[in-house]
Structure 1
């Protein structure tokens, strides 16, 4: 099988999209939409302080024929204590998650001084060592108000940490046009862990994926040609409407099918 044909197996959902629903309902929505994997959030659905529930969520996910893609945490390097990450790693192992999403501090690069950078770098280096002992990878949230608020700074941060156990997610930056957005993604390809898929335009106005077809078709075209299939996780559907997940999944599936042909 050509590796391009396997992208459909990597389509999934971030549970934070439906944080108002119980995990059981998130699983039902994911399966009904024809998606195959879930990034479980540590804030509501799989709290690291409740390992019994985390194990139950894993059992429910696997019983539904779905895969745990990753563990979505809110641990912030240089800010959150390492003891919190250790709890998350234990929970990720119980969940069967191969990866934990982490954050590069809590302020953007325009405000960050040398001490901030040094603290985030040191925190991520230590975190990578701890995670590696449990065969778990870390991936940065690509997000405003952190040191990964641009492609340039994300690459700089990864270079400074210099650990293969750390990669990055990608998502469209607010108010960025299609061409620079895809150009930025292209630069991140060598360090890409996965994609958080949503359409906000302009600013944080939530749109359907089909309303930014130009962007997502270009992303699909780039990925199927340049990347070994990685996680494509739907996030932040308009109004957090569970009834839209199946339609958004169908749009995403069609875009990647078109890119493969």
Structure 2
């Protein structure tokens, strides 16, 4: 598998899309996952088209649309899945990030899980109809907070255009995180790359270099092309991106 370096735009929520693109290009990154909260708001067709053109003109790929659609919740709260998929399509994003609910898997009963699954089927059908894929955020306080729950959800939705992103859980050690990654490897979309302490203090990526070398080595065993996307830097400081990108490129070259 080929892994290319990229950026999650919400790393710099305080910057305009033009600034995010300039930073990514200068840092030698190849693509951007655009966030749906600030840079490409859900339902803003004009912003989606503008950012798509901006990204392509800079020679970068639109890797994904980082929506904040919560399965089992967002539709009832006024964010329609049709809106999310349309924005992603106009943006030219092949992958649409969604969140697997709003409860830890340990607190999700059968009724809650069924609601998440039904909503996932609905948005996956909409996405598939226009050639897009849905990818879960692999995250605490959702149904993808453990490898067991994540694989259950993915297997339940087998046959639909549904995959998952992956990121390490800071409170788990390398062996546990590797086991998590192995479990979802057949469904892997892209990686979210960061270095945090268990207390969620942000560190330079070099501090977790050996961990990420191990994660990338496993991710590379899955067929196809994916992106390793930098997400978050200390103090949201744009001046740190170049060094973080250099570290990521070194990891990808050596793994």
| TM-score after normalising by structure 1 | 0.93
- Which 4+ residue blocks in structure 1 deviate beyond 2 angstroms? 161-164, 223-229
What is the RMSD computed on CA atoms of the aligned residues? Answer: 1.4
Instruction: Give the unaligned 5+ runs of structure 2.
Output: none
In the alignment, is the contact (CA less than 8 A) between 2:97 and 2:134 conserved in 1? yes
Displacement, 1:205?
A: 1.1
Instruction: Give the unaligned 5+ runs of structure 1.
Output: none
For 2:141 and 2:110, the matched residues in 1 are separated by 16
Matches for 1:107-186 after TM superposition, within 5 Å: 107-186=103-182
Displacement, 1:38?
A: 0.3
In the alignment, is the contact (CA less than 8 A) between 2:71 and 2:99 conserved in 1? yes
In the alignment, is the contact (CA less than 8 A) between 1:199 and 1:208 conserved in 2? yes
In the alignment, is the contact (CA less than 8 A) between 1:38 and 1:67 conserved in 2? yes
The alpha-carbon distance between structure 1 residues 79 and 163, as it changes in their structure 2 partners (threshold 3 A), is farther
For 1:227 and 1:189, the matched residues in 2 are separated by 10
| TM-score after normalising by structure 2 | 0.95
2:55 aligned residue = 61
Task: Kindly indicate whether residue 14 of structure 2 is the aligned counterpart of residue 25 of structure 1.
Answer: no
The alpha-carbon distance between structure 1 residues 15 and 46, as it changes in their structure 2 partners (threshold 3 A), is same
For 2:246 and 2:180, the matched residues in 1 are separated by 26
1:73 aligned residue = 67
For 1:104 and 1:258, the matched residues in 2 are separated by 33
The alpha-carbon distance between structure 1 residues 226 and 97, as it changes in their structure 2 partners (threshold 3 A), is closer
Helix, strand or coil at the partner of 2:37: coil
Aligned length: 253
- Encode CA deviations 1:143-171: one digit per residue, 9 max, x unaligned: 01111111110000111222330000100
Helix, strand or coil at the partner of 2:189: strand
In the alignment, is the contact (CA less than 8 A) between 2:42 and 2:67 conserved in 1? no
For 2:212 and 2:119, the matched residues in 1 are separated by 34
Helix, strand or coil at the partner of 2:107: coil
- Encode CA deviations 1:217-246: one digit per residue, 9 max, x unaligned: 111222234443311110011111111111
In the alignment, is the contact (CA less than 8 A) between 1:76 and 1:104 conserved in 2? yes
For 1:39 and 1:226, the matched residues in 2 are separated by 21
Match of 1:254 among 224, 234, 250: 250
Helix, strand or coil at the partner of 1:172: coil
Helix, strand or coil at the partner of 1:142: coil
